[in-house]
Structure 1
Amino acid sequence: MARLDTDLIIAGGGLAGATLALALSRMVPSLRVTVVEAFPLSLDALPESYQPSYDARSTALAWGSRLIFEELGLWSRLSAHATPIEHIHVSDRGRFGATRLHAAEHDQAALGYVADNRWMGLCLMRELLDTRVRWEAPAEVVGMMPLPEGVRVSVKSGEHTRELTAQCLVVADGGRSGLREELGFRTRVHDYGQNALIANVSTTESHGFTAFERFTDAGPMALLPHGSPSRAAHQSALVWTLTDDALEDILSLSDEDKCRRLQERFGWRLGRFTRIGTCNHYPLKLTTVDEPVMPGVALVGNAAHALHPVAGQGFNLALRGLMTLVEQFRLAEAQGASIGDLAVLKRYQALHQQDWQQTVRFSDSLIRLFGESLPPLAAARDAGLVGLDLLPGAKRWFARKAMGIGGRRAVIDHPAPANRESAKNE
């Protein structure tokens, strides 16, 4: 049998693809990994110091995700610009029901963290520079053909296309590239009929390291603490759910009027809104793939499932799935099996399926439940929120979901690298 060009090709070098590459370099160093990324990579893009931008896009990291990054030896670098979430406040606008979660009640330093996407990408690239991971960039995967020993992948760079052979292809380029459909995966899509407006905002009161989940008759919104990791600042990351008409209306307003409209929807828990940064937006859809594997190919991250962002579960679910896949690759390599064997990929699917089904149901049910305005349902929501706040067992379950530790163990059952730091040493 002819020698393959590489063992694994990862289509997409964003947060999911780069994290998978780093995890494999740590946990399965014998595998040859090639990442195909559409954006050019340069050492010039990795500055020695990082200056956060006010308009930086960010991601909510659950406590379970911190444990994974610790396992990969990345947290000591990443935590320099990760704002802790010490409290979560969930409420239904205009009604009395509310639930409050506090990290101290669970003997944790934080319930989660908020980190800029660009900062996470820079941290991953810095770590990957010291690995044997190979990069093809700028380039993109445009096709795949199964082989008896694996797959033949078509990689396009500029006007030129060449073929690379590997045991397996992992699609980690999100849900919008079209590669997933090109390879024959079938998706199920539920359109919420809403849009997410993303922006950073400033308020007269500090956030106190509190994340707010606010459900309103016009749709849910979230405000996540952003900025300094050590000082409770006045900046928060906003996720605002809007209908098409409402989005068009908001985007037409001046920044001052945007703040005024936001004030009307959120209230005064953070004082007055004084600034809103650049507004990005995208349509909200629940996208799932019932069969995310086929011989020689696996989907991960948003290519496998895309959730409503207000519950902050998407990337954390993806991260747990990546570690499940890494563990199956490690076992296959130890047993002398091909990582692209359907049996190997099916085990990954089976182990991750319960987690993603539960997380999808949890996230989707919040949106559907709080999207109903009928008085009996509104009263039931209030009772439920109060019950969560008063019943220790229910509150603990809700907290574990929010912290990303409610399902399978987040960290690979594998010896930790020597530079892993312990959360207890903080």
Structure 2
Amino acid sequence: MANEIGGDMTEKQFDILIIGGGLVGTSFLCALEPIIKSHQLKVGLIESHDLDKPGDTPPSYDARASALSYGTRLIYEQLGIWKELSDDAMPILDIHVSDRGHFGQVHLNHNEEHVPALGYVIENFRLGKVLLRRLKAFRDQQLIKVLSPAEVTGIKPVPEARMAVEVVTGNDQSDSQGNSQGNSQGSYQNSYQNSYQADLIILADGGRSSLLDKLNISRKQFDYQQHALVANVSLDRPHAGIAYERFAGEGPMALLPLTGTEAGDYRCGLVWTLPNRQIDDYMALDEESFMERLQQLFGTRAGRFVRLGQRSSYPLSLNVAREQVRPGLVVLGNAAHVMHPVAGQGYNLAIRDAMALVSNISDSLAAGKSPGQLSQLLQYVEGQKRDQTMTLDFCDNLVKLFARKETGVILARNLGLTGLNVSRRLKTRFARKAMGL
């Protein structure tokens, strides 16, 4: 190591440097807090958006809803932030999985699994607001240094097993807490380039990370030739905390219960998977025509759809980084793996990865080793390999299985759903996996 852990460093040297202040990067930082304090670590975070400017937040802090597993709730309780989230998180009390027009279905219930909820649904901007508040508190306590807005243009190894990042900010001046006072729109007209070094860099800048290419880290990719259409919809009756996964038409439809509004709306988050060839047509439909088509394919088991929020869409693909660790580097979150949203497992897997990585770092520090030592980081990857592989394969196989239209395949999958539903042991195993336990 170039410096003793937590020891005297220059302003441009860190023990750990996080690239990306989105949901995963800030959750990782929250988990790291006890270690920062106990080992006097010097930690930095770089974010291209201006975290102090209202409305200029990372893309993951958007209006979409995320399904948090019960296991993720337990993690956030451990980190001391669940209390701030609980009012905005709608408990999932039941899950209904069905194959439209066929007999197979699975029903999961929280009482049968002896948990207060199978999971929770929260809008990303509400989750982001809590995490951002915690991030700013860490900065104000001078536990971390924040560079925002700042753009990383390159990463490279440097002598003594450290990594260096080249960072462009909007101005050559930063305040005492490390916040760039430059251009808040990320255009960096009066830009200034600087270099920072760290024993360990956490690359958590999202699924569209351009830094993986700069590092020559390739991805395993599969294009599903589908888009996810996302919107909030209102029902004519209470949703009773029921989440639906409906395999209908050309792709799965998920309906996730949300907290109500002051107007008393019974809201749900819709994630509708559609083939690329259909997405533009569905996005262009007027509200009445869209809800009529949605009702036709989903059915009336949840009630009648009476109101539609703003629609958005994004392409779906499987993307997995072929390297998640190098000396002094870890790829985390969507930068490491992006999966189909069919089972709502992507964010939960990323949070489990983050907790496992914090545990690995703690073990390294306890042994007097650098947190960026490759042999230690390889243990992190090996420890998470089974969880990652099972979760990625489950979502991928589920999409491909329900896309098949052969009579024999349809019969087999419906028999499988029925068998799962009547077997207490199998259903509990399935439920616990879905809950991240």
Give the secondary-structure state (helix, strand or coil) at the position aligned to 2:271: strand
Q: Give runs of aligned pairs for residues 327-366 of structure 1, distance below 5 A.
A: 327-366=359-398
CA distance in 1, matches of 2:266, 2:55: 29
Residue among 235, 244, 260 paired with 1:212:
244
The residue aligned with 1:411 is none
Q: Is 1:241 matched with 2:244?
A: no
Compute the displacement of 1:245 (Å): 2.0
User: Residues of 1 paired with 2:212 and 2:320: CA distance?
Assistant: 12
Deviation at 1:140, TM superposition (A): 1.8
Show the counterpart of 2:172.
none
RMSD: 2.0
Partner of 2:92 in structure 1? Answer: 85
The normalised TM-score by structure 2 is 0.88
| Cα distance, 1:130 vs structure 2 | 3.1
Aligned equivalent of 2:405: 373
Distance, in Å, in 1 between the alignment partners of 2:205 and 2:409 is 39
TM-fit CA distance, 1:355: 0.5
Match of 1:7?
15
**Is the aligned partner of 1:135 residue 2:146?**
yes
Residues of 2 paired with 1:196 and 1:182: CA distance? 28
After the TM superposition, which residues 28-43 of structure 1 pair with which residues of structure 2 at under 5 Å, given as runs?
28-29=36-37, 30=39, 31-42=41-52
1:44 CA drift (Å) = 5.9
Structure 1 pair 389–210 and aligned structure 2 pair: CA distance change class (3 A)? same
What secondary structure is seen at the aligned counterpart in 2 of 1:105?
A: coil
- What is the Cα deviation at residue 337 of structure 1? 0.6
Which residue of structure 1 lines up, in the alignment, with residue 128 of structure 2? 121
Tell me the SS of whatever aligns to 1:361.
Answer: helix
Distance 2:327 2:276 in 1: 40
Aligned amino acid, residue 156 of structure 1: V
Residue aligned with 1:130, SS = helix
Say whether residues 1:309 and 2:341 are aligned partners: yes
In the alignment of these two chains, the number of paired residues is 398
* 8 Å contact from structure 2 (residues 88, 122) kept in 1: yes
Question: What is the Cα deviation at residue 28 of structure 1?
Answer: 4.2
Kindly state the Cα deviation for residue 149 of structure 1 after the two structures are TM-superposed.
3.6
Aligned residues of 1:196 and 1:284 also touching (Cα < 8 A): yes
5 Å-filtered alignment, 1:386-397, equals 386-397=418-429
Contact 1:217 1:373 survives alignment (8 Å): no
Structure 1 position 233, deviation (Å):
5.9
Q: Answer whether contact 2:16 2:42 (CA < 8 A) is retained.
A: yes
Q: Determine if contact 2:249/2:297 at 8 Å carries over to the other structure.
A: no
Q: Paired residue for 1:156, among 150, 165, 168?
A: 168
How far apart, in 2, do the equivalents of 1:212 and 1:222 lie?
Answer: 6
Aligned to 2:118: 111
Partner of 2:358: 326
Query: Does residue 67 in structure 1 map to residue 74 in structure 2?
Result: yes
3-state SS of 1:129 partner: helix
Contact 1:21–1:133 (CA under 8 A) maintained in structure 2: no
Distance 1:369 1:56 in 2: 30
Identity %: 41
CA contact (8 A) 1:6 1:32 kept: yes
Gaps of 5+ in 1: 47-52, 406-426
Q: State the Cα distance separating 1:45 from its structure 2 match.
A: 6.9
Look up the equivalent residue of 1:22 and give its one-letter code: C
What TM-score, normalized by structure 1, do the two folds share? 0.90
Post-superposition Cα deviations, 1:140-164, rounded to whole Å, max 9, x if no partner, equal: 2211121224111111112211001
- Which stretches in structure 2 are left out of the alignment for 5+ residues? 4-8, 170-187
Deviations 1:57-98 (A, max 9, x none): 211100000010011001011112100000000000011111
Residue of 91, 98, 101 corresponding to 2:105: 98
Q: Which 10-residue stretch deviates more, 61-70 or 125-134? A: 125-134
User: Structure 1: which amino acid aligns with 2:77?
Assistant: E
In structure 2, the partner of 1:19 is: 27
Amino acid at match of 1:34: G
**CA positional deviation for 1:228:** 3.7
Whole-angstrom distance in 1 between the partners of 2:276 and 2:406: 22
